[in-house]
Structures are given as structure tokens and as C-alpha cells.
Amino acid sequence: MKLAIIKYNAGNIQSVLVALERLGVQAEVTDKAEKIKAADKVIFPGVGEASSAMNSLRQNNLDQVIKELEQPVLGICVGMQLLCEHSEENDTTCLGIVPVKVKKFQSGKELIKIPQVGWNTIYDLKSDLFKNVPENSYIYNVHSYYADDSEYTIANCNYGLEYAAAVKKDNFYGVQFHTEKSAETGDQIIKNFLELL
């Protein structure tokens, strides 16, 4: 199986690559359109700020490449947010693949710290991405922005409000949390993605 990790100016590419190596999976980190298109599966990582990440994609024409992918694609953290329509982070127009808005956490009635940092539980798990993952498993989060709950949600999480911890539309999957840093639960989700048809 050919696995591509999209290379652009965004943080956790190395963490994702290393996580795959720990699981004994080879992946190629690339910004070459033909290699990304030819891969069986694509991981779209991301840590950092949405508008500079989008600019980095556009500079390399990767925004168009990603939109046209037909194989399973997994966006992680900011990668997931960029799959969405728009992010409040510096008013960024994202890829628009999953028609969902990305908003900033607000401390309201329930006082919350922003960013959400740490281990929280996911529930209402709906896709093969969560095969063998028990309800209310802990996953690791580091984020100030979240995707709105919608018909595309395949896992929920609660931090001051209920939001989409994971989304799916067609062949595009996105997880807000860091699968590559979520201990055994994260490893299982990565394995599940690799086994998706």
C-alpha cells in the first residue's frame, strides 16, 4: 500500500510520520501532486495557524490537488479544520470539502481554558474509523478552534459545548484530536484508517 503524507508548512508532519513508523508502516512525505494522487491513502496533517497553512497549500497548488482526491484522506487537527469550509482563525477560507464551519472556543457559562489541552473522551462513534475503539475512549487534544456539530460528525466530544471530534464526507475523514499522540486508542484509529477500503 502506498501512503502519502502531504508536506506543507504545518507542524506535526514528523509526529505523524514517526507514529506510522512505530506501527511499522512506511509513508512518503511529499508535496508532489502526482505522488499524492497516486497514493492509496493520504494523510493530511497539521498543527499551527489556519491561514498560513492555507497559504502554504495554495502556493504549491495543493489545495486543488486535495479537493480532487478520490482515495481515503485523513485530516488531522488543523488538517481536519482545513477540510472544512471556513475557519474563524484569521478569517480563513478553507478547502470547503466538508461543509462545516470552524469556530473558536468561547468561555461562557461553563468556564473553559483555551486552548483545550489534554485528554478528553469521544462518544457516539459512527464510522469504521472507530472499529474496536470503545465509546468514551480518551484521546489527546490541543486546539482553540473546533468544527461545528453537523450531519457529517462521526464522533462527538464535549468541551464547554458539544462539537465534532471527527467528520466524514465521502472519502474524506477528519479528526480534531491527535491520533498520533493518543496512546493505544490513537494507534487503533490509525490502523483502522489504513484498513479502510
Partner 1 sequence: MLAKRIIPCLDIKDGRTVKGTNFVNLRDAGDPVELAANYAKQGADELVFLDITATVERRKTLAELVKRVAHTINIPFTVGGGIKTVEDVSVLLNNGADKISINTAAFQNPQVITDIANTAGSQCVVLAIDTRQEEDGEWYVYLHGGRTKTNAKCFDWAKKAVDLGAGEILLTSMNHDGTKAGFALDITQQFSDALPIPIIASGGGGTMQHFADVFLKAHADAALAASVFHFKEIEIPALKTFLAKQNIAVRL
Residue 26 touches partner 1, criterion: CB under 8 A: no
**Of 55, 71, 121, 171, which lies in the binding site for partner 1, with binding defined by CB under 8 A?**
121
Give min distance, CB of 138 to partner 1, in A: 4
Q: Is 86 a catalytic residue?
A: no
Give min distance, CB of 170 to partner 1, in A: 28
Distance between CA 127 and CA 172 in Å, rounded? 12
Footprint on residues 145-184 left by partner 1 (CB under 8 A): 158-159, 178, 180-184
Output phi, psi for 58, to 5 deg. -65, -40
Say how many C-beta atoms besides its own lie within 10 A of residue 52's C-beta. 16
**Of 1, 2, 14, 132, which lies in the binding site for partner 1, with binding defined by CB under 8 A?**
14
The angle that helices 183-195 and 13-22 make with each other, rounded to 10 degrees, is 80
Report helix, strand or coil for 103: strand
Residue 123 touches partner 1, criterion: CB under 8 A: no
Question: In DSSP terms, which residues pair with 75 in a beta bridge?
Answer: 44, 174
Footprint on residues 38-57 left by partner 1 (CB under 8 A): 47-49, 52
Distance between CA 1 and CA 62 in Å, rounded? 22
CB 98 within 8 A of CB 128: no
**Alpha carbon of residue 114 to chain centroid:** 19
Residue 118 touches partner 1, criterion: CB under 8 A: yes
Report helix, strand or coil for 158: strand
Q: Is 143 a catalytic residue?
A: no
Residue 135 touches partner 1, criterion: CB under 8 A: no
Catalytic entry in 49, 77, 89, 157: 77
Report, as residue numbers or ranges, the catalytic residues: 77, 178, 180
Binding site for partner 1 (CB under 8 A): 11-15, 18-19, 21-22, 47-49, 52, 78, 107, 113-121, 138, 140-144, 158-159, 178, 180-184, 186-187
